[in-house]
Structure 1
């Protein structure tokens, strides 16, 4: 029997759990920390993509991940210029904080 009896929610919960499990295999078993890496990477990517592509990317994500992606986003806000990969990784590292157990290059791989 479905957990919520709504197929769309059951599917997004299952997909999100698969994503989080894969992340936890790389960064460790702390489930509460597993959403931080994709949040940092997706938000940095969102800030660098043209608005149309950023919206399209968000629409492809599972609902729960997409909600994190869209959270606090102002579509008409300032766009960041496309830069070198090293700068992007530095920005991801800043979002993750110094205490995170895995580096931004491994997270974005």
Structure 2
């Protein structure tokens, strides 16, 4: 279905590619599960990294996903400061009330993997460096390695 506006058609197509990638990573055909995971993880990420970094990341998202990303955001709130896996996953689970712990964790891994492959690598690495080591495990290994190298000054 075409909207008749190239920019709208393009954002729908790009957003569907992201959604399909999340579905593939979750090994599911359930588009709704992939969508709610994408939304919940993007919100947790946005709220964790602070307004300036959140705005830079949001600018790299397809227009449709950008709207989803900013939905309900209050940039005047201080960034959340989850430092441990349990707290970060609990934050994501707030938007996924029917998901099991395993599904929440799988969603975090899937979304951050897809995000890492669709946004500027430098931006993904910069965001990953904002995460404490206990939370970096949710990022794909190539981002974890680059973030570690960046902090050590070897990249």
Q: TM-score, normalised by structure 2?
A: 0.60
Q: Check conservation: 2:93, 2:99, Cα contact below 8 A.
A: no
Q: Check conservation: 2:11, 2:64, Cα contact below 8 A.
A: yes
Q: Which residue of 1 aligns with 2:145?
A: none
Q: Check conservation: 2:39, 2:68, Cα contact below 8 A.
A: yes
1:65 is the counterpart of 2:65 = yes
Q: Which residue of 2 aligns with 1:17?
A: 16
**1:32-64: CA deviation from partner (whole Å, max 9, x where unpaired):** 333100110010111111210011111111111
1:34 is the counterpart of 2:34 = yes
Moved beyond 6 Å, runs of 4+: none
Cα distance in 1 between the residues matched to 2:6 and 2:28 = 30
Report how many aligned residue pairs link the two structures.
Answer: 108
Deviation at 1:13, TM superposition (A): 0.7
Q: Check conservation: 2:50, 2:78, Cα contact below 8 A.
A: no
**1:71-103: CA deviation from partner (whole Å, max 9, x where unpaired):** 111211232124223321222123212346961
Question: CA 1:27–1:90 in structure 2 vs 1: closer, same or farther (change >3 Å)?
Answer: farther
Structure with the bigger RCO (C-alpha within 8 Å, sep 6+) is 1
Cα distance in 1 between the residues matched to 2:43 and 2:2 = 30
Give the superposed CA RMSD: 2.2
Q: TM-score, normalised by structure 1?
A: 0.82
Cα distance in 1 between the residues matched to 2:89 and 2:17 = 24
1:85 is the counterpart of 2:75 = no
